[in-house]
Amino acid sequence: MNSMIKTSFRSLAVVAALALLAPGTRAQAPRSWIIVGADVADGSGSGLRRVNVRVVNDRIVSVGSGGPQSGDAVVAGTGKVVAPGFIDIHNHSADELANDPAAATQVAQGITTAVVGPDGGSPWPIGEYLTARRTSPAALNVAAFAGHATIRRVVMGDDFKRPARPEEVARMATLLDQAMREGAVGLSSGLEYEVGGYAETSELVELSKVAARYGGVYMSHIRDEADKSFEAFREAIAIGERAGIAVQISHIKLGTVGVWHKAAEAIALIEAARTRGVDITADEYPYNAWSSTITVLVPDKRYDYPPSVERALADVGGAANVLIVRHAAHPEYEFKTLDAVAKSKSMTAVEMFIQIVKDGGAGVVCTSMVDDDMRAFYQRPWVMVASDGGIGARHPRGAGTFPRVLGKYVRDERWLTLPEAIRKMTSAPADRLKLADRGRIVAGGIADLVMFDAKTVIDRSTFSDPGILPTGIEKVFVGGELVWDSGKPVDARPGKVLMSGRAPSVRQGSYRRVPDWGPGITIDSAGAEIR
Ligand SMILES: [Zn+2]
C-alpha cells in the first residue's frame, strides 16, 4: 500500500520528501503540496482563475499567486482545471462501500463525497452505519440520509400498504429523531415505490418537521414522474411549506409523453414557490433514460391488468424504450428491450410485461425524457448535478454522470458554462446539506479537489456496459490525500463521515429566506450571503 502511494505521488512531485508521505510519519510532519498553473473553478460559479492552490495536511492554506514553499511537493496544473471535489447528493453506494472502499467508479468521476440513503431507503440504524464507515473508511467521504421507507418498515413491518396511524407516525418520528442525532443529513422519501407510496402527505409533513429541527433536508423521489408530475411537484412544495423544511426534488424529470416539453411550466411552479419563500431545489442526472423497477411504469399499480399495462407502455413511447437490465428468473432477457423479448417469445409486449412481473419483476432502463426538458432544468440555478448511481449501478450514470456533464453538456453542447456546472456539483450540494468547509476552493477549506482536462473529459459508460470508467479526470484528492491518479485508484482511504454543520444561523427557523444561487454569489456555511 505504501509503495503505491509513493510511486503515484512521486510521478507528480518535483520535490517530495517521500518520508512525509509514509502513513507512519504522517502525524509528526506536515504534508504540504501545491498545484501550480491550473485554471481554478473555485465552486462559487465565478470565472476560472489561474491561481496556485497550496495544501498542508487536509486543508487548503492559500489560493493565489504564491509559489511553492520549501518542502512542498509540486503538482503541475498547466492546461488543467482544478475544482472542488464533486459532492453527489444522490448516491446509491451505501452497501457497496464496505466491499469496495476504493470505489473506483465513483472516484474516477471526481466524486469526493457520496451522499447515500436516497429514495426512502437507507442503512439502519444510521449511527451504526456511520460508525462502520469511520472504522473502515473508503477513498471518499460519505454522508447519509435517513430513509422514510426504511423507518416505515421498522414501525409497520409487512403491514405497510395503508396510511400509518397517528401512533405509528409518532413512533417513526422518534426513530427519525434518533437518526438525525446520529448524523443523518435529512429525510429521504421514495413515494413512487412500494413502501413509501402508501404514506399520506401528512405523514411526510410530520416527519419532515423532525428533520427540520436539526436543519435537515427533505429529499424526495416524488410521487409521480409521469402524467401526474405536477401533482407530485405540488405535494413536495406543500411538504416544504407545511413543515418549514428545505426540500430537494430528486432527479427532476418529466417522464411520459403526456408531460414532455412542459419543463417551463414545472419551472414556473417551483419558482413561484421559491418566490413565496419555500426553500426548494432539485438535482438531475444527465441521461434521457431512467432506471428503476419495471412496476414503476404502471402508476395505478395494476400490474396484471392489460389496459393499465398497455397505457403505461404507450406513455413511455412503447416497449422498445424499455430495456430489461435485471431479471433473476431469466437472465437471458437482460440487456434486451421488452419489445425484443416479447417478439422472441411470440407474445405481445403487454403479455410479456405481466409475465415478467409474475416471475419476480425486473430492473429496467426506460428511455422517456426529452432533451429540451433536461436542458431547461439544468439551466436553472437551483438544479444541481447528481448521479442517482453508485458502485455497481446498472445504468451508465453510475460511472459516468459528472464527466458526462463536463464533456457533453458543458464542452460539446454548451448547455452550461464550466464554472456554473462545477458550482452545481460542489458548493450547491455542500450548502444544501450545510457541509462545513466543503465545496469551495478557499483558504481554510478542506482539500477535497479534482484536477481534470476540460478538453478531453468525457464519460464512456453505456447502457450495455455501464461500468466503463470515464477519461479526463486526472487527479482526485480527498482531505489532501491523493486517491485517483492518471486513470488508476491509489490505495488510500482518507474518506470521512460528514454530517451537517447545523450551525445556528440567521435563517434558523426562518426557511423563508431562499439563497439566491446566481453566479458569483456564495452562501457560507452559516447561511450568510457573501459576494
Ligand atoms: Zn429515485
Which of 36-40, 90-94, 377-381, 500-504 is the least confident region?
500-504
CA distance 316 to 369: 9
What tens digit of pLDDT does each residue of 325-352 get? 999 999 999 999 999 999 999 999 999 9
Quote the mean pLDDT of the chain: 90
Enter the C-alpha cell of residue 505. Answer: 444561523
CA distance 148 to 160: 12
Residue type at position 513: R
C-beta atoms surrounding 125 within 10 Å: 17
Q: For the chain, what is the radius of gyration of the CA atoms?
A: 23
Distance 251 CA to ligand 1 centre (A): 7
Q: What is the 3-state secondary structure (H, E, C) of 356-401?
A: HHHCCCCEEEEECCCHHHHHHHHCCCCEEECCCECCCCCCCHHHHH
DSSP 206-253: HHHHHHHHTT-EEEEE-S-SSTTHHHHHHHHHHHHHHHT-EEEETT--
Q: Are residues 171 and 155 in contact, defined by beta-carbon separation less than 8 angstroms?
A: yes
- Determine the pLDDT at residue 29: 59
149: enclosing H helix or E strand: helix 148-156
Distance 517 CA to ligand 1 centre (A): 24
Distance 506 CA to ligand 1 centre (A): 32
- Between residues 136 and 525, which one has the greater pLDDT? 136
Determine the average pLDDT of the residues in 375-386.
Answer: 98
CA distance 279 to 247: 6
Enter the C-alpha cell of residue 171. Answer: 413512533
Distance 282 CA to ligand 1 centre (A): 12
Task: Examine the pLDDT at 531 and tell me if it is beyond 90.
Answer: no
Q: Are residues 441 and 53 in contact, defined by beta-carbon separation less than 8 angstroms?
A: yes
- Determine the pLDDT at residue 519: 29
Distance 120 CA to ligand 1 centre (A): 8
Q: Give the neighbor-by-neighbor strand order of the sheet with 32-36.
A: 59-64, 52-56, 32-36, 73-76
Distance 221 CA to ligand 1 centre (A): 5
Q: What is the pTM of this model?
A: 0.86
CA distance 100 to 478: 16
Q: Are residues 288 and 371 in contact, defined by beta-carbon separation less than 8 angstroms?
A: yes
Distance 119 CA to ligand 1 centre (A): 5
Distance 219 CA to ligand 1 centre (A): 10
Distance 192 CA to ligand 1 centre (A): 8
Distance 197 CA to ligand 1 centre (A): 12
Distance 388 CA to ligand 1 centre (A): 7
Distance 93 CA to ligand 1 centre (A): 13
CA distance 384 to 448: 18
Distance 153 CA to ligand 1 centre (A): 18
Q: Are residues 232 and 254 in contact, defined by beta-carbon separation less than 8 angstroms?
A: no
3-state secondary structure of 200: coil
Enter the C-alpha cell of residue 31. Answer: 504534508
CA distance 139 to 133: 11
Distance 174 CA to ligand 1 centre (A): 25
Distance 238 CA to ligand 1 centre (A): 19
Pairing status of strand 280-284 against strand 289-293:
unpaired
Distance 85 CA to ligand 1 centre (A): 23
Q: Are residues 95 and 101 in contact, defined by beta-carbon separation less than 8 angstroms?
A: no
Distance 220 CA to ligand 1 centre (A): 8
Distance 236 CA to ligand 1 centre (A): 14
Pairing status of strand 39-40 against strand 217-221:
unpaired
Distance 490 CA to ligand 1 centre (A): 31
Residue type at position 494: P
Distance 442 CA to ligand 1 centre (A): 33
Enter the C-alpha cell of residue 415. Answer: 448547455
Enter the C-alpha cell of residue 36. Answer: 501550480
C-beta atoms surrounding 472 within 10 Å: 22
Enter the C-alpha cell of residue 212. Answer: 427540520
CA distance 245 to 215: 8
116: enclosing H helix or E strand: strand 111-116
What tens digit of pLDDT does each residue of 204-254 get? 999 999 999 999 999 999 999 989 999 999 999 999 999 999 999 999 999
* 80-111: b (≥16 Cβ within 10 Å) or e: bbbbbbbbbbbbbbbebbeebbbbbbbbbbbb
3-state secondary structure of 168: helix
Enter the C-alpha cell of residue 492. Answer: 488510500
Length of the chain: 531
What tens digit of pLDDT does each residue of 141-195 get? 999 999 999 999 999 999 999 999 999 999 999 999 999 999 999 999 999 998 9
Distance 272 CA to ligand 1 centre (A): 24
- Please give the C-alpha separations between residue 255 and each of 229, 350, 356, 368, 400, in angstroms, as whole numbers: 8, 19, 22, 5, 21
C-alpha triplet 273, 276, 280: angle, nearest 5°: 40
503 phi, psi to nearest 5 deg:
-70, 135
Distance 512 CA to ligand 1 centre (A): 27
Distance 78 CA to ligand 1 centre (A): 39
- Determine the pLDDT at residue 1: 36
- Please give the C-alpha separations between residue 277 and each of 204, 240, 327, 512, 527, in angstroms, as whole numbers: 20, 10, 45, 4, 15
CA distance 130 to 390: 18
What tens digit of pLDDT does each residue of 434-476 get? 999 999 999 999 999 999 999 999 999 998 789 999 999 999 9
